[in-house]
Amino acid sequence: MIPAPPDATHDPALTSWVESANDPATDFPPQNLPFGRFRRKEGDRWRIGVAIGDAVLDLAHARVHDGDDMNALMAAGVDLRVALRRALSAGLARGAPQEAEWRRCLVARTDVELGVPCRIGDYTDFYTGIHHATNVGRQFRPDNPLLPNYKWVPIGYHGRASSVIASGEPVRRPRGQYKDAEAATPSFGPTRRLDYELELGLFIGAGNALGTPVPIGDAAAHVFGLTLFNDWTSRDVQAWEYQPLGPFLSKSFASTVSPWLVTLEALAPFRVPFTRPADDPAPLPYLSDAADLAAGAFDIVLEAWLQTAAMRAAGTPAVRLMQSNFRDSYWTPAQLVAHHTVNGCNLRPGDLLGTGTQSGAAPGQGGSLLELSQGGRTPLPLPNGETRAFLQDGDTVILRGHAEAPGRRRIGFGDCAGTIMPAG
């Protein structure tokens, strides 16, 4: 399937009658139009909205889409999503005849609660960040950091969907079992090595029937959109439990997702060729497609920011810890869908695929504190004199992402934030 090229909805000259959407610094200009769920107060039903500048457009109230079920909208497929995007773009454009009516359908983002963008039935976390895999592997296997299957198989594990939470919800420090290297027996208590992982989340739109694999050429059409995703991790619990079956309690206590689904259509101008080093093996045929090679990767800048409790008390803003780019991912979104379904596994609307930690090649581009602090051996200095090897209670981690290219309007994902609370 050849991705649809940019169209009038991506025109960098396009402006909106929602003036905040014309601010060059906004994540949500009229070229973006991400989907999410909101409600005005606790107890209200969740409604489908689109972010535009500092506001949310209520789709049902604006009579653009009938219904409040995001999963049903996602299941409807690409054609409906494209038609909605074009209708929204036209109606929000400066001078649109819908302005007077739609102004009554706008609500300030500060006046609503934003939730997880849809009902998540299943969650799979992949391991597509080769620089992260290499950095972590080198800490345990200095001479052979990548296992033999890494460059052949999109590695993943089945995570816990019930503990995926919305940006802004606090994260309780988990308790668990861990074993110090010098100890004869394991200990139990609050994790001492709590970490974040900078990832993207891929949300499935139209699903596939059980027993029916999705061909690589059709796979991208099954991805509704992308979000930021923080796969919080207890490193001491992880080190003790992960062999032989992989992550369990070290991951399942919480994962945070940003509230806005940035569609693949919005990201069309930021597609880039999928490339690998010349001496790496070519993907097997079921993971290889000419269109995916030509434009299956995405140029998305990713960042992790930290504000400690002391910084917050002093009125000091969050500090950026690192920056990387999703174009360095070792597998494309289409390859993840094709591999996940090749055995006949059925994906359903709203299923979440995590990309794995997105680190860069440079030493300061680690997508986790495990990398930035070299396993805790070299704590990271902060501007206020504090240091961090791993997260402390009161720390707020904020993930941010944006896509930009020459001659295109910058679009963003909104914040994915969570604050660490003491163990209960």
Positions marked active-site: 132
Question: What is the enclosing helix (H) or strand (E) of 85?
Answer: helix 78-92
Q: Which residues of 116-152 are buried (b: 16+ CB within 10 A; e: fewer)?
A: bbbbbebbbbbbbbbbbbebbebeeeeeeeeeeebbe
Q: Hey, what's the torsion of the CAs at 350, 354, 355, 360, to 10 degrees?
A: 130
The DSSP letter of residue 192 is S
Report the phi/psi class of residue 354: left, alpha or beta, with left for phi > 0 and alpha for psi in -120 to 50: beta
Of residues 72, 93, 81, the one with CA closest to residue 13: 93
Residue with tokens 């139009």: 33
Tokens standing for 27? 């994540």
Q: Hey, what's the torsion of the CAs at 244, 246, 251, 255, to 10 degrees?
A: -170
How far lies 134's CA from each of 45, 46, 143, 360, 388, in Å? 45, 41, 11, 11, 22
Question: What is the enclosing helix (H) or strand (E) of 74?
Answer: helix 70-75
Residue with tokens 């535009």: 52
Of residues 271, 223, 228, 213, the one with CA closest to residue 81: 223
- 393 exposed, middle or buried (CB, 10 Å; 0-12, 13-18, 19+)? middle
Residue with tokens 């794995």: 356
Tokens standing for 272? 């880039």
Judge contact between 326 and 302, C-beta under 8 A: yes
Report the phi/psi class of residue 51: left, alpha or beta, with left for phi > 0 and alpha for psi in -120 to 50: beta
* Cα(194)–Cα(390) distance, integer angstroms: 6
Question: Which ranges in 192-349 belong to alpha helices (H)?
Answer: 216-219, 235-241, 290-295, 309-313, 333-341
